[in-house]
């Protein structure tokens, strides 16, 4: 697994930072965030996931359901996560997602790839910043 | 791997597997209520919280759309949606759907069937190893009008010794045998082939072995290879058939093997047996004098081109000419033809004509259905405009409309392929004796591929033009005027389609008309004899009959036939006129310088019994007929026809002169002159012919002719009884009325004509439907205008004239284009015509008028509807 995987998909959608400024984000990042969050939290529904990701980002990210749910579907199709119906805090039927064994391996791979990628990019940025 | 799995799930999702739309919506709904709960906890009123959550979540259906796109594959899902929509639309108007599917099924089915025949017969390689390397060697002598005839044995030996361009070279000759000892005596068609033939073709016996070198040598053991069909039918595919004996011409032949199917389709006929030593088929004179007796098949050496081989054959032919200048075939050239061309080449043109015709039928059907679709789509203008207003692109709309035409085409094709399958089995059954390689005709993968392409092209052809036409709509206009006035646009497209249909169907009608006229003229040709009321059958006498026994047979059997009840006149002859190839040989006049065989004149030779001319009612012009005294005990005599007399005895009396006849060069005195008949073909002029008394030159093949009042079946029984008293082992072959036998020789022409006429008739029906539907729509479009005209005092007659006039103008333009097209097409088919000018005015004018009348009739009903328009109603709807 190499960092090229992470760079392969450009994400068509946007996220906002807390200043309301829109930035393009690599697609791999949201998938990684979802996987990582599920690894930490165990089973969780979409709303909880979104809230948790926003929280961890220090509220610099606001997650649009229009990007979250397709990503969840895609991860499920790829077999990294699985889901079943459960009951949410307010007693509504909600879909709960959890990591599969393949998902756990994928988290490791993605993490490593992401580290690689940021390392490489950092090498380009560092001398520039020093100048 | 992951991606493959995901793709699989997406495909599965399209068929309802995985998350449903409702589930996705429920999930989003939960998301919203959780969000609202959060806002409520932060102090908002429940209502405000709900509102805020809804705003934040935004357009929920757009989210679930995105999810849906992720879940399945958007392009395919759109296509499926389009097809579902198209299916609903088609179900809404079953009458239209049925008509369109039937029309397309006929069009596509006929095309697939004809393509299958063309493909199996003309395009597929022959079923031999590297069959494109196989050639036939033939002799051609343009001066004597001998084109691609057989090969002589002496020339074969010359080629065999000197050639360096072929890796294999084989000799064969077809031959008929009488099979006895297994039920009723039966005639079987076989091939006498050299041992080299099977390896040349690259074939091997299914069981058993090929002829051995010993069996290939003159005087070798009698052995036979049997066909798979015979193995199946007579021996039930029993392996113990090897070594059993088959009694052929009263001699036992040991079965040494079973031939593969490809070997018994060789060259055209269904052969039943192969025996070795082709030279045994011919008389010694034919072997030495250079008679065109054999068929020679060769395989080009690897790396040798056809052209190189042809050059090499020129050299060998020149050497042969010098070494055997006296031989019959010395002046002829050696021609090399690829085996496939040789087998089917002569038929190619008529099948291409049929293929063209059936293609035209499909095009006409397409034009028709395009027209109907245009009307349908035009009626949906408002829906289409609404879709545009909601943001659909022109591409979306065209895709959706073309989906409908494509669905029609696919449904039509499914039915069409079934029809084609059925039609092909009929063709194979009917065309068994008419179509070369008929056993190989089937609906194979190539034909199915053709069907798929034809279907896709049809689907696009019939849908695209109308879809583009109606989607090029001004949204505002279409919404404003209620979709009514819009029916009229596309009028030009509709008129063009109509003109196209009319023109194409006229081309087909004229092509069929010219062929029909040819056939009628051909059947009206006076053959010079009277076949009506004559019964005929063939008898193959065994080869082991001694000459005396043959003479005995001819004498006694002819006498016996004369006593048959109801028979007014009977005769025996080696060949029946107009039922097959006639044997040509050399002839010279005694007392004049005798030129070598190769430069001698040729004439058709017949061996006939007394009363042959009387039985066929061929008039005697001078001298006398043969009688029973013209036997071996008296000097030989001969009767010639008028053409012979004119050519060889201009201004002289031929009676009493002596001819030197045939390769055997026996003298015979001319005792009579008979009128010319057309014996070879109705469409070829009489050739010089001479007749020898069969009692003086008995040969083993003969035909019975009985002029009788009784029906053929009754005569056949009587003749069979008579034959049995002479030799119970003799079969009576092909007993039938002479008129029936002659009609069979025209069967090929008739089959092609029948198919072409069927296609032309179909085209005419389709074109008239086209005229009807176009005029019906034009009348509907002009309802208001016609209402106004009637309100202003136009009479119903005037309205009718107006509508009919419009139809007539379009039809006339179509007819004009059709005539122009027919000029071109008819010149291409000139070869198939007999005594008909390709621009025969009668055919052109007659069929144009027919088409005009049919179009007139088809436009009468819309015109009558126009006269019944109530001006008040018409104007009120404005």
What single string gives the DSSP state of each residue in B264-279? HT-SSS---EEES-GG
List CB contacts (< 8 A) between A50 and chain B: 31
Asked if A88 has any chain B CB less than 8 Å from its own CB, the reply is yes
Distance from the A45 Cα atom to the nearest Cα atom in chain B, whole angstroms? 9
Residue B534: strand, helix, or coil: strand
Calpha distance B351→B356 (Å, rounded): 8
- pLDDT at residue A26 in the model: 52
- ipTM of the predicted assembly exceeds 0.85: no
The CA distance from B52 to B44, in Å, is 9
- Cα angle: B717, vertex B719, B628; to 5 degrees: 165
**Residue B95 CB contacts under 8 Å (≥ 6 apart), including other chains:** none
- Residues of chain B contacting A77 with CB distance shorter than 8 Å: 5-6, 9-10, 70-71
The shortest C-alpha distance from B74 to chain A (Å) reads 13
Per-residue pLDDT tens digits for B263-305? 877 555 568 899 999 888 766 556 677 777 888 999 999 999 9
Contact B249, B188 (CB under 8 A): no
Q: What is the pLDDT of residues B742-775, one digit of tens each?
A: 887 777 778 778 888 888 888 888 888 888 888 8
- Main-chain phi, psi angles of B363, to 5 degrees: -60, -40
Query: Do the Cβ atoms of B27 and A94 come within 8 Å?
Result: yes
Which residue in B67, B69, B72, B73 has the most chain A C-beta atoms within 10 A of its own C-beta, making it the best mutation to test that interface?
Answer: B67
Is A90–B2 a contact, with Cβ atoms under 8 angstroms apart?
no
Q: What b/e readout covers A57-67, taking b as 16+ CB neighbours within 10 angstroms?
A: eeeebebbbbb
Residue A7's pLDDT is: 33
Encode burial over A25-40: b for 16+ CB neighbours within 10 A, e otherwise. bbbbbbbbbbbbbbee
Please tell me what DSSP assigns to residue B211. Answer: P
- Which 8-state DSSP code applies to residue B439? G
Model confidence at A131: pLDDT above 80: no
CA distance B48 to chain A (A): 18
Question: Around Cβ A24, how many Cβ atoms within 10 Å?
Answer: 11
In this complex, do A70 and B30 lie within 8 Å of one another by their Cβ atoms?
no
The answer to whether the CB atoms of B66 and A69 lie below 8 A apart is: yes
> In angstroms, rounded to a whole number, what is the distance separating the alpha carbons of residues B433 and B763?
29
Identify which of B2, B26, B37 has the shortest CB distance to residue A90.
B37
Residue B172 CA, chain-centre distance (Å), reads: 28
Spell out a b/e string for B643-678, using b for 16 or more CB atoms within 10 Å of the CB, else e.
bbbeebbeeeebbebbbbbbbebeebebbbbbbbbb
- Closest-CA distance, A119 to chain B, in angstroms, reads 27
Distance between alpha carbon B391 and the CA centroid of its chain, in Å? 53
| Region of residue B250 (left: phi > 0; alpha: psi -120 to 50; beta: else) | left
* Helical (H) or strand (E) element with B672: strand B666-674
Answer whether B673's CB lies under 8 Å from B642's CB.
yes
pLDDT > 90 fraction of chain A, expressed in percent and rounded? 5
Beta bridge partners of B248: B179, B251
Regions of chain B where pLDDT drops below 50: 482-488
Q: Cβ–Cβ of A69/B24 closer than 8 Å?
A: yes
pLDDT at A25 over 60: no
Question: Chain B contact for A86, CB < 8 A?
Answer: no
Q: Does A73 touch chain B (CB under 8 A)?
A: yes
Sign of CA pseudo-dihedral B234, B237, B240, B242: positive
Helices (H), B258-393: 261-264, 284-289, 306-323, 339-344, 348-379, 381-389
Backbone angles phi, psi at A13, to 5 degrees: -90, 175
- The answer to whether the Cβ–Cβ distance between A88 and B34 falls below 8 Å is yes
B714 interfaces chain A, CB cutoff of 8 Å? no
Helix (H, G, I), strand (E, B) or coil at B628: coil
Q: How long is chain B?
A: 878
Is the predicted pLDDT of residue A1 greater than 70, yes or no?
no
To the question of pTM greater than 0.80 for the whole model, the response is no
State in Å, rounded, how far the first CA of chain A is from the last one: 33
């Amino acid at each position: 697994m190499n960092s090229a995987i992470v760079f392969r998909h450009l994400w068509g959608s946007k996220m906002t930072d807390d200043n309301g400024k829109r930035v393009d984000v690599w697609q791999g990042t949201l998938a990684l965030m979802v996987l990582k969050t599920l690894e930490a939290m165990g089973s969780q529904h979409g709303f909880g996931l979104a809230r948790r990701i926003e929280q961890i980002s220090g509220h610099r990210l606001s997650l649009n359901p229009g990007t979250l749910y397709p990503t969840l579907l895609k991860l499920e199709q790829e077999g990294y996560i699985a889901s079943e119906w459960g009951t949410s805090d307010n007693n509504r039927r909600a879909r709960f997602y959890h990591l599969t064994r393949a998902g756990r391996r994928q988290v490791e791979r993605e993490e490593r790839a992401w580290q690689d990628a940021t390392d490489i990019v950092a090498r380009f940025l560092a001398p520039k910043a020093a100048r | 791997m992951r991606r493959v799995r995901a793709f699989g799930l997406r495909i599965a999702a399209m068929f309802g597997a995985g998350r449903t739309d409702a589930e996705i919506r429920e999930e989003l709904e939960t998301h919203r209520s959780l969000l609202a709960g959060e806002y409520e906890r932060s102090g908002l009123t429940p209502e405000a919280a709900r509102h805020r959550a809804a705003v934040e979540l935004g357009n929920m259906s757009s989210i679930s759309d995105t999810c849906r796109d992720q879940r399945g594959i958007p392009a395919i899902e759109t296509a499926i949606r389009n097809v579902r929509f198209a299916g609903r639309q088609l179900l809404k108007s079953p009458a239209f759907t049925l008509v369109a599917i039937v029309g397309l099924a006929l069009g596509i089915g006929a095309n697939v069937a004809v393509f299958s025949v063309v493909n199996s017969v003309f395009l597929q390689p022959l079923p031999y190893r590297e069959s494109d390397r196989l050639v036939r060697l033939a002799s051609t002598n343009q001066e004597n009008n001998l084109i691609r005839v057989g090969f002589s044995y002496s020339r074969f030996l010359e080629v065999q010794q000197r050639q360096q361009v072929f890796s294999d070279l084989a000799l064969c000759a077809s031959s008929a045998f009488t099979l006895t000892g297994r039920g009723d005596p039966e005639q079987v068609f076989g091939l006498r082939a050299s041992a080299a033939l099977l390896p040349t073709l690259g074939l091997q016996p299914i069981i058993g072995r090929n002829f051995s070198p010993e069996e290939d040598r003159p005087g070798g053991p009698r052995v036979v290879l049997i066909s798979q069909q015979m193995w199946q039918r007579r021996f039930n595919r029993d392996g113990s058939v090897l070594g059993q004996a088959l009694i052929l011409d009263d001699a036992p032949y040991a079965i040494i093997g079973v031939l593969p199917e490809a070997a018994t389709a060789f060259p055209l006929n269904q052969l039943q047996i192969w025996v070795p030593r082709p030279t045994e088929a011919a008389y010694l004179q034919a072997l030495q004098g250079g008679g065109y007796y054999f068929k020679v098949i060769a395989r080009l050496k690897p790396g040798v081109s056809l052209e190189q081989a042809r050059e090499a054959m020129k050299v060998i032919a020149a050497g042969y000419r010098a070494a055997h200048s006296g031989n019959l075939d010395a002046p002829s050239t050696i021609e090399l033809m690829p085996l496939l061309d040789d087998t089917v080449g002569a038929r190619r043109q008529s099948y291409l004509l049929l293929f063209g015709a059936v293609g035209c039928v499909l095009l006409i059907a397409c034009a028709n259905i395009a027209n109907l679709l245009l009307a349908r789509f035009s009626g949906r203008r408002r829906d289409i405009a609404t879709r545009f207003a909601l943001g659909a692109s022109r591409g979306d709309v065209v895709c959706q409309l073309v989906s409908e035409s494509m669905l029609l085409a696919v449904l039509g094709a499914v039915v069409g392929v079934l029809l084609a399958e059925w039609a092909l089995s009929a063709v194979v059954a009917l065309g068994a004796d008419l179509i070369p390689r008929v056993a190989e005709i089937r609906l194979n993968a190539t034909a199915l591929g053709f069907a798929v392409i034809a279907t896709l092209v049809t689907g696009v052809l019939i849908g695209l033009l109308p879809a583009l036409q109606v989607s090029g709509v001004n949204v505002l206009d279409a919404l404003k005027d209620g979709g009514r006035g819009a029916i009229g646009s596309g009028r030009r497209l509709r008129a063009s389609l109509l003109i196209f249909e009319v023109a194409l169907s006229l081309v087909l009608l004229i092509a069929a008309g010219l062929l029909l006229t040819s056939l009628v003229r051909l059947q009206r040709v006076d053959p010079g004899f009277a076949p009506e009321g004559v019964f005929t059958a063939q008898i193959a006498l065994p080869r082991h009959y001694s000459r005396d026994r043959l003479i005995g047979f001819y004498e006694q059997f002819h006498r016996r036939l004369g006593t048959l009840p109801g028979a007014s006149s009977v005769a025996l002859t080696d060949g029946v006129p107009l039922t097959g190839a006639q044997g040509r040989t050399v002839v010279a006049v005694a007392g004049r310088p005798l030129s070598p065989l190769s430069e001698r004149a040729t004439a058709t030779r017949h061996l006939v019994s007394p009363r042959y001319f009387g039985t066929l009612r061929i008039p005697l012009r001078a001298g006398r007929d043969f009688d029973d005294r013209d036997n071996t005990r008296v000097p030989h005599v001969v009767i010639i026809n008028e053409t012979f007399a004119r050519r060889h005895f201009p201004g002289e009396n031929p009676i009493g002169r002596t001819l030197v006849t045939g390769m055997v060069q026996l003298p015979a005195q001319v005792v009579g002159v008979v009128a010319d008949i057309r014996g070879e073909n109705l469409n070829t002029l009489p050739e010089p012919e001479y007749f020898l008394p069969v009692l003086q030159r008995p040969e083993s093949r003969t035909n019975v002719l009985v002029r009788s009042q009784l029906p053929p079946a009754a005569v056949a029984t009587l003749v069979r009884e008579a034959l049995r008293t002479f030799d119970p082992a003799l079969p009576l072959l092909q007993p039938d009325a002479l008129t029936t036998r002659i009609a069979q020789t025209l069967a090929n022409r008739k089959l092609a004509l029948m198919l072409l006429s069927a296609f032309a008739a179909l085209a005419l029906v389709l074109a008239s439907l086209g005229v009807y539907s176009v005029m019906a729509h034009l009348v509907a479009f002009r309802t208001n205008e016609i209402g106004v005209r009637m309100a202003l005092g136009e009479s119903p007659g005037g309205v009718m004239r107006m509508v009919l006039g419009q139809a007539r103008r379009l039809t006339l333009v179509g007819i004009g284009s059709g005539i122009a097209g027919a000029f071109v097409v008819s010149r291409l088919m000139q070869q198939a015509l007999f005594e008909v000018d390709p621009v025969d005015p009668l055919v052109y004018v007659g069929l144009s008028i027919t088409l005009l009348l049919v179009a007139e009739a088809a436009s009468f009903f819309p015109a009558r509807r126009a006269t019944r328009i109530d001006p008040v109603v018409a104007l009120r709807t404005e």
